[in-house]
Amino acid sequence: MKKLFIILLLVNISVFAQQDAQYTNYMYNTITINPAYAGTRGVMSVFGLYRTQWVGLDGAPQTATASINSPIENSNLGVGLSFVNDKIGASNESTISVDISYTIRTSSIYKLSFGVKGTANLLNVDYTKLNRYDLIDPKFQNNIDDEFSPNVGAGAYFYSDKLYVGLSVPNFLETDFYNDNASSTTLERMHFYLIGGYVFDLSPSIQFKPAFLCKSVVGSPLQVDVSANFLFNEKFVLGAAWRWDAAMSFMAGFQVNQGLYIGYAYDLETTKLAHYNSGSHEIFLRFELFKNQKRVLSPRFF
């Protein structure tokens, strides 16, 4: 039964859809989904993340992400560059994106940023990695090799030191990929993201940040993630998250020094899929370069 479940899962993923990667620490990885985030932290920010999902399940998703973004000095512009490699079953997709943002000040507290994203995708699907009972099935005769597709996206990001709200569509173009004999296809669908969060000062040493992410994909159920993180003494972060009808998550982070932050998350499935895996793990590093080692009196919690 387990083998049958895995085969059905992999066929569904490889043949019908290759969707955007999923993250538990979405609040730290905003640049991948919203180009307007580029440069909004006010410093050069280098980010790396690795996620292994549904550990113990053959062909489960594995995602590696690296990005860098920075404001351009003496201007309202920000720039970013990101790379994502997402492996799911027989498919392997690599994405390189360039982001440009423009920020305007709407008041003494709030800013509004607009961004555009240009993306290059390379998709590979190796059907020999599937457990194929019918080896002559035409759907699985020809692999997809380095299938290239460009894309464009856009977003808006409204924020202050305490609040943020963002709306974005990372990829406007819905692309169909066909193998050589056009007998099977993978579909890249448009994703809509709405994110938000607010930081409450509970005491001089404790901050509380609730946050949410809503993701809408044509033909799929609405995905809603809500999280709650506590920051202690501007050093330690502990929190939990809930993915609607999917998973519970536990998060921890540590500000090693002014520039280096490390974070971790563990997801525990709340669906029947929990019987076939031992959860998901996600770890990330963020390194920021402060000009002239200037001190940030109140580091932003997002």
Q: Report the DSSP beta bridge partners of residue 217.
A: 191
Query: 3-class DSSP state for residue 6?
Result: helix
Strands 111-125 and 91-105: antiparallel
Asked if residue 11 has pLDDT above 70, the reply is no
Share of the chain above pLDDT 70, in %: 82
Q: What's the chain's length in residues? A: 302
Give the pLDDT band (50/70/90) at residue 113. very high
Residue 299 forms part of a structural domain = no
Q: Considering Cα of 240, then 266, then 158, then 287, what sign does the dihedral take? A: positive
State phi, psi for 90 to the nearest 5 degrees: -85, -5
Domain that holds residue 197: 2-293
- Least confident stretch, 86-100, 124-138, 153-167: 124-138
Evaluate whether 92 touches 63 at the Cβ level (below 8 Å). Answer: no
Location of structure tokens 């404790």 = 206
Asked if residue 157 has pLDDT above 80, the reply is yes
Residue 185 forms part of a structural domain = yes
Note the pLDDT of residue 218.
Answer: 78
Q: What is the mean pLDDT of the chain?
A: 86
Residue 301 forms part of a structural domain = no
Alpha carbons 60 and 265: distance in angstroms, whole number: 17
Note the pLDDT of residue 301.
Answer: 79
Asked if residue 3 has pLDDT above 50, the reply is no
Residue 300 forms part of a structural domain = no
Give the residue from 121, 127, 130 showing the smallest Cα distance to 82. Answer: 121
pLDDT tens digits, one per residue of 271-300: 888 888 999 999 999 999 876 554 454 457
Asked if residue 12 has pLDDT above 60, the reply is no
Note the pLDDT of residue 134.
Answer: 59
pLDDT tens digits, one per residue of 170-219: 999 877 655 554 444 556 678 999 999 999 999 999 999 999 999 998 77
Query: 3-class DSSP state for residue 211?
Result: strand
Residue 298 forms part of a structural domain = no
Alpha carbons 301 and 98: distance in angstroms, whole number: 25
CATH at residue 75:
2.40.160.40
Give the pLDDT band (50/70/90) at residue 152. very high
Alpha carbons 178 and 188: distance in angstroms, whole number: 12
Give the residue from 58, 65, 55, 57 showing the smallest Cα distance to 20. Answer: 65
Give the distance from CA 246 to its chain's centroid.
17
Residue 257: burial class (beta carbons within 10 Å; 0-12, 13-18, 19+) = exposed
For residue 160, give the amino acid letter.
Answer: S
Give the pLDDT band (50/70/90) at residue 127. confident
Give the distance from CA 221 to its chain's centroid.
18
Model pTM score:
0.86
What beta strand segments (E) does 234-293 contain?
236-243, 247-255, 260-269, 280-289
Question: Any alpha helices (H) in the chain, and if so which ranges?
Answer: 2-11
Mean pLDDT over 13-21 rounds to: 52
Asked if residue 220 has pLDDT above 90, the reply is no
Asked if residue 102 has pLDDT above 60, the reply is yes
Mean pLDDT over 13-42 rounds to: 81
State phi, psi for 111 to the nearest 5 degrees: -130, 155
Asked if residue 1 has pLDDT above 50, the reply is no
Note the pLDDT of residue 4.
Answer: 36
What is the number of structural domains in the chain?
A: 1
Between the alpha carbon of residue 254 and those of residues 162, 259, 260, the distances in Å are 20, 11, 9
